[in-house]
């Protein structure tokens, strides 16, 4: 299709028509709304895809996306654009809320099973933090489960491996590191793996949150959908809430990012505290 480009060779800059096509494609596939100010960032991130495919410029890359083979590239495009910065116990107030308020209420109500969905679980830090919080409060004899989804197969594979560098562990209490992680030795020194008793309580699956519907056979006691809507325009935010809401049990909770809000959206939740809502 095109000549290979040496790794040291610079890819030519992205033009306005190519950027507009990529911007619309990303929006259609993920709901991420890229403004004009993101052009340089998008070009830098997609350059890696051009090199991987041995394509010389963005015009050829757009042609590839339009071709019959381009469908297979779409997940890689969205993944290149998406931000996957996370770590254990990020935005820790949500886990405090689980431990101090939600879980005690569920126990008092006599619930026999707890189901929580980490809707943008990325590489697993969030769902495993939820699982650790549940394990601390309920133990392993209780029936609880965490369902973790993401649009990126690469992130899901990282989550399934459950192996993390020390930089992701800085917010994990030392006693939790001992209790719920295996510390690497030898060639794996500096790495941590989530112990099996936690891993088997977390199920990973690929879901695009903007797909028409979610094929769940259950409703959830709580859904974590954090730092997702911040990348969406108002229409996509409303569509996301409309899709998520039916999957929250009456009395269940929705956790969103601390910089996000449901203000201005139609929904059937009541705010409990900033970024925590109850159906």
Same domain membership, residue 103 and residue 73: no
Please tell me the distance from the alpha carbon of residue 190 to that of residue 184, in angstroms, as a whole number.
Answer: 6
Q: What is the pLDDT of residue 84?
A: 63
CATH of the domain at 231: 3.40.50.150
Active-site pick, 45, 99, 179, 183: 45
- Which range of residues forms the domain containing residue 40? 16-81
Residue 60 DSSP label: H
Q: What is the pLDDT of residue 29?
A: 86
Half-sphere exposure of 80 (CA within 13 A, CB side): 21
Same domain membership, residue 22 and residue 98: no
Same domain membership, residue 164 and residue 65: no
Furthest CA-CA distance within the chain: 66
How many domains would you assign to the chain?
A: 2
Give residues with Cβ within 8 angstroms of 173, minimum separation 6. Answer: none
- Which of 53, 81, 109 marks a domain boundary? 81
CATH of the domain at 62: 1.10.155.10
Give residues with Cβ within 8 angstroms of 125, minimum separation 6. Answer: 86, 87, 88, 90, 164, 168
Is 3 inside any structural domain?
A: no
Same domain membership, residue 113 and residue 20: no
Same domain membership, residue 163 and residue 108: yes
167 in catalytic set: no
Give residues with Cβ within 8 angstroms of 171, minimum separation 6. Answer: 87, 88, 89, 90, 92
Active-site pick, 90, 150, 168, 199: 150
What's the Cα-to-Cα distance from 121 to each of 157, 181, 203, rounded to whole Å?
Answer: 11, 19, 11
Q: What is the pLDDT of residue 83?
A: 65
Predicted TM-score (pTM) of the model is 0.82
150 in catalytic set: yes
* pLDDT tens, N- to C-terminus, the chain (279 residues): 333 333 333 455 789 999 999 999 988 888 888 888 888 888 988 998 999 999 999 999 999 999 988 888 988 898 888 766 689 999 999 999 999 999 999 999 988 899 999 999 999 999 999 999 999 999 999 999 999 999 888 899 999 999 999 989 999 999 999 999 999 989 889 999 999 999 999 999 999 898 888 878 789 999 999 999 988 889 999 999 999 999 999 999 999 999 999 999 999 999 999 999 999
Same domain membership, residue 227 and residue 109: yes
The bridge status of strand 220-224 relative to strand 113-118 is: parallel
pLDDT (tens digit per residue) in 192-238: 999 999 999 999 999 989 888 887 878 999 999 999 998 888 999 99
Please tell me the distance from the alpha carbon of residue 71 to that of residue 222, in angstroms, as a whole number.
Answer: 33
Q: What is the pLDDT of residue 221?
A: 98
Residue 10 DSSP label: P
| DSSP codes of every residue in 171-208 | TS-HHHHHHHEEEP-GGGTTEEEE-HHHHTTEEEEE--
């Amino acid at each position: 299709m095109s000549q290979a480009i040496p790794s040291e060779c610079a890819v030519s800059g992205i033009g306005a028509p190519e950027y507009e096509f990529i911007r619309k494609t990303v929006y259609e596939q993920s709901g991420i709304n890229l403004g004009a100010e993101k052009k340089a960032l998008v070009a830098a991130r997609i350059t890696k895809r051009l090199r991987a495919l041995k394509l010389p410029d963005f015009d050829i890359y757009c042609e590839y996306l339009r071709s019959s083979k381009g469908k297979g590239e779409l997940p890689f495009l969205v993944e290149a654009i998406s931000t996957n910065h996370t770590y254990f116990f990020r935005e820790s107030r949500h886990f405090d809320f689980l431990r101090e308020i939600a879980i005690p209420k569920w126990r008092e109500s006599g619930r026999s099973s707890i189901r929580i969905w980490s809707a943008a679980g990325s590489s697993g830090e969030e769902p495993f933090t939820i699982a650790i919080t549940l394990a601390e409060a309920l133990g392993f004899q209780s029936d609880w489960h965490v369902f973790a989804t993401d649009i990126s197969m690469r992130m899901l594979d990282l989550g399934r491996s459950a192996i993390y560098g020390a930089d992701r562990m800085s917010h994990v209490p030392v006693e939790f590191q001992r209790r719920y992680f295996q510390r690497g030795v030898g060639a794996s020194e500096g790495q941590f793996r989530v112990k099996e008793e936690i891993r088997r309580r977390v199920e990973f699956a690929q879901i695009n949150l903007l797909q028409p519907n979610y094929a769940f056979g259950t409703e959830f006691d709580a859904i974590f959908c954090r730092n997702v809507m911040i990348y969406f325009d108002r229409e996509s935010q409303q569509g996301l809430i409309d899709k998520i809401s039916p999957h929250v049990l009456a009395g269940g909770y929705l956790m969103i990012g601390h910089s996000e809000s449901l203000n201005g959206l139609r929904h059937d939740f009541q705010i409990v505290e900033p970024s925590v809502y109850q159906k």
